[in-house]
Amino acid sequence: MSELRSNEFLVREKPGKLMRKYAIPCIISLVVAALYNIVDQIYIANADYLGSFGNAANTTVFPMTVLALAIAVMIGDGACAFVSILLGRKNQQDAHKTIGNAVVLTICSSVIVTVLYLLLSEPILTLFGGRVNDETFKLAKEYFFWITLGMPFYMFGQAMNPIIRSDGSPRFAMISTVAGAVTNIFLDWLFIYPLHMGMTGAAIATVLGQVLTAVLAIWYLCHMKAVKLEKSSFGMFPDLMKRYIPLGITSFLSQASLVVSMAAVQNSTAKWGALDPVFGQPQYTQIPLAVLGIVMKFFQIAISISVGLSAGCIPVVGYNIGARRKDRVKTLFTYLLAAEAIVGFAALFIVEVFPQGLINIFGAANESEYYTRFAIRSFRIYLCMMPLAMVNKGTFIFLQALGKAKESMILSLVREIIFGVFLPILLPLAFALNGILYSFPAADILTFILSLIVILRTYKELKEN
């Protein structure tokens, strides 16, 4: 241990300072990671030969990248939380084996995901509304094929990011993600516009950015600070997996259940859009799906900030729990809830006041007036409960950091499976296409009632010695 850096500062520095130090790089990393898909959609939407058809195709593929991310963050966040606790207990032996096991598990799972996606591409795209029309389905297949080939790099980079943070290097985790995103942004422009490569170009640009992030993560694993990896680190250790995977289950469920919710929303959108007097017309059938995708992309940015705030706290919370400093954890929880609410209100202000500006970024100038009207209405209704959504998400992840996997898992499942699936199916029966827009804020209100109960109970426990 003498040659390795100690993380003892995690129980000495002020909680607010630690939160800024860890959360800000984490926020930047996650926002930049979200921009991978969003930048693709912006460039696609503004390319006159792709437009809303390409936009709808991108929306169709997006849930499958989220599902791959769910597996990656389950491994990465679970290992991050567990390694932080181990370091707080000065347990180097299990720490380096946990990280090595996480590397092996990520590689194996990413290969399986890639094979399944290649074999089941058409049923998958159909499940998420890709057959809304022939042009959308053709573009979705093209984009999905290349994105699938890059899944091992994407999953590896995303899984290693929290592990790098647990080693006390949130800045490097941020830099590796930003480097990949900047590469993606430049190559998107090059491949879609000058080279006219369409959906294939957008996908290849994304994959090359993900390759760079993965390479930087590999370099860091060879130069870790608080943990030294050895040849014996890399293997399958069932005893350790049983201990750290449950800590990442909430991260998995929060993402995977979102995919289930997306399937319900996107299928309902296709169904009720076809029954709409305007969007039932063949030339407009892809618009509701394209617009909902855009609205969800903005929400993805906001929720990335929310997740970054809470996920950035995981190493700090884990270390202080290991060191039996509940007082510091309670203070950090208070700061987190306040920050989540502030972010939510800021995002709410943007969507309510500037919806036209947001939709213009995604090529509204090239579309019909129906596209713009529906987009403005969608932003203002679908995202009207953003403050509650942010607090809910922050609570889920903080509970995970505390080792309260069960409570966190239940809240995530209730939000995304019960409310997130059934409300988009039931509300349109009364409100038609608008019912899908009402489903999102309704789910956040109902979830917040449950979250508030858990928040108050958690405060009570943290007050106890």
**pLDDT, tens digit, for every residue of 429-438?**
999 999 999 9
Confidence category of residue 253, pLDDT binned at 50, 70, 90: confident
**pLDDT, tens digit, for every residue of 110-120?**
999 999 999 99
**pLDDT, tens digit, for every residue of 121-154?**
999 998 888 887 888 899 999 999 999 999 999 9
pTM comes to 0.75
- So what's the pLDDT on residue 455? 92
User: How many structural domains is the chain composed of?
Assistant: 1
| Nearest one of 374, 379, 375 to 351, comparing CA atoms | 379
Helix, strand, coil tally for the chain in percent (to 5): 85, 0, 15
Q: What is the mean pLDDT of residues 441-452?
A: 95
Distance between CA atoms of residues 269 and 275, nearest Å: 10
Tokens of 291: 């617009």
Rounded to 10 degrees, the C-alpha dihedral 145/424/389/62 comes to 10
Percent of the chain with pLDDT over 90: 34
**pLDDT, tens digit, for every residue of 263-272?**
888 888 888 9
Does residue 328 carry a pLDDT above 90?
A: no
Does residue 363 carry a pLDDT above 80?
A: no
Q: Is 3 a member of any domain?
A: no
Q: What is the mean pLDDT of residues 285-314?
A: 84
The sign of the dihedral angle between the CA atoms of 183, 347, 399, 440 is negative
Which helix H or strand E contains 31, and what residues bound it?
helix 15-45
Tokens of 338: 């306040």
Confidence category of residue 104, pLDDT binned at 50, 70, 90: very high
Structure-token match 């760079």, residue found: 212
- So what's the pLDDT on residue 314? 75
Phi–psi pair at 377, nearest 5 degrees:
-65, -40
Tokens of 365: 């100038």
**pLDDT, tens digit, for every residue of 57-95?**
888 888 888 899 889 989 998 888 788 778 777 777 778
Confidence category of residue 319, pLDDT binned at 50, 70, 90: confident
Q: Is 149 a member of any domain?
A: yes
Confidence category of residue 4, pLDDT binned at 50, 70, 90: very low
Q: Is 23 a member of any domain?
A: yes
Q: Is 1 a member of any domain?
A: no
- So what's the pLDDT on residue 222? 87
Q: Is 4 a member of any domain?
A: no
Q: Is 275 a member of any domain?
A: yes
Distance between CA atoms of residues 440 and 447, nearest Å: 11
Q: Is 200 a member of any domain?
A: yes
Lowest mean pLDDT among 51-65, 329-343, 373-387: 51-65
Q: What is the mean pLDDT of residues 105-109?
A: 95
- So what's the pLDDT on residue 389? 94
Q: What is the mean pLDDT of residues 405-429?
A: 88
Q: Is 7 a member of any domain?
A: no
Q: What is the mean pLDDT of residues 293-309?
A: 85
- So what's the pLDDT on residue 390? 94
Summary count for the chain: helices (H), strands (E): 19, 0
CB 341, CB 356: distance < 8 Å? no
- So what's the pLDDT on residue 194? 92
Full domain range(s) for residue 454: 13-463
| Mean pLDDT across the chain | 86
Which residue would you say has higher pLDDT here, 449 or 66? 449
